[in-house]
Amino acid sequence: MAKVSVLILAKNEEKFIGACIKSVAAFADEVIVIDDFSTDATAQISADLGARVVQHGLNGDWGGQQTFAIKQARFDWVFFIDADERSTPALSAEIKKILARDDKSIAWRTARLSYFWGQPLRHGGWFPDYVTRLFPTAGSYVTGFVHPQIHHTCAEKDFPESAYLVHYPYRDWNHYFNKLNFYTTLAAKKAHEQGKTAGLLDMILHPLWASFRMYVLRGGFLDGRIGFVLAGFHYFYTMAKYVKLFYYGKENVHVTEAADDV
């Protein structure tokens, strides 16, 4: 059977890193935690559970950090998992089958089932949310600062939906809104760099469509109250992107500054 290096990027994840590492124990031949100089017990907990801890600064470059992680791998396959994710027994069993076949012409994508406030998010576009996670080490690298792209020479296939990662994307509402602010700023920056602009109609129509699509067309209403709440907040997420794009590069000048300088 081929061997696999499980790679985890982490910073101040002491509450979550232990469960993450334990969830991959059934198939991991080594676990490598790339620690962005955590100030809590992340590194110690990881080491106590048998992981190899390598400290390396993220510096805002998620793709670069993942490429660094791949270079630390000792084995022919790598599997990426985030500290806020858990491998299910079904996924672990599927990964062991792939390693037994050792077909390096294929990279594998896994579904993710997100939970928030203890509730699975199966609708509204949240599931299956396939992501590429298991692939051969040789020749692979990652680019992209926030939404990275994995580069490899393989065809991609999906694990069954029943073999998924459990994902905890938000710890609480503060975490949710911090992410909202962070990602809408980056989205506006990217759109600006691509030469895009925004106007009042963009601020009105795009949020309406995004919220309607999540709640009605993608069945967010089937997730009950949390489906309604997240679809509503998706309206504000989309609006924030276009508002920030409209104001991107503009200075928030205080109208009294000229008078104050006299």
Domain ranges of the chain: 4-167, 173-247
**Looking at residues 97-125, what average pLDDT do you find?**
97
Q: Are 157 and 109 in contact, with CB atoms under 8 Å apart?
A: yes
Distance from C-alpha of 27 to C-alpha of 77, rounded to nearest angstrom: 12
pLDDT digits (tens, 9 = 90+) for 178-188: 999 999 999 99
Model pTM score:
0.90
**Looking at residues 153-178, what average pLDDT do you find?**
97
Q: What are the residue ranges of helices labelled H in the chain? A: 17-23, 42-48, 62-72, 89-101, 173-193, 200-212, 224-247, 257-261
The whole-number pLDDT of residue 124 equals 97
The whole-number pLDDT of residue 258 equals 60
The whole-number pLDDT of residue 33 equals 98
Higher pLDDT, 145 or 227: 227
Contacts of 246 (CB under 8 A, 6+ apart): 197, 198, 199, 202, 203
Scanning the structure block, which residue is given the tokens 């691509």? 194
> CATH topology for 4-167?
Spore Coat Polysaccharide Biosynthesis Protein SpsA; Chain A (3.90.550)
DSSP string covering 113-144? EEEETTEEE-STT-SS--EEEEEESTT-EEE-
The mean pLDDT of the chain is: 95
**Looking at residues 29-50, what average pLDDT do you find?**
98
